[in-house]
Amino acid sequence: MPDVQIESDRLILRQWRLDDFESYLELCQDPEVMRFLGGKTFDRLECWRHMAFMVGHWQLLGYGPWAVEEKATGRFVGRVGFLNPEGWPAFELGWTLSRNFWGRGYATEAARRALAYAFAELDKDHVISLIDPKNTNSIKVAERLGEHVEGKTDLLGREVLIYGIDRPVNPQS
**What pLDDT, in 10s, does the model give residues 10-23?**
999 999 999 999 99
Q: What is the pLDDT of residue 39?
A: 86
Give the span between the Cα atoms of 62 and 10, in whole angstroms: 25
pTM exceeds 0.85: yes
Task: Please give the pLDDT value at position 157.
Answer: 85
Encode 59-89: b = buried (16+ Cβ within 10 Å), e = exposed. eeeebbbbbbbbeeeeebbbbbbbbbeeeeb
DSSP 8-state assignment for residue 69: E
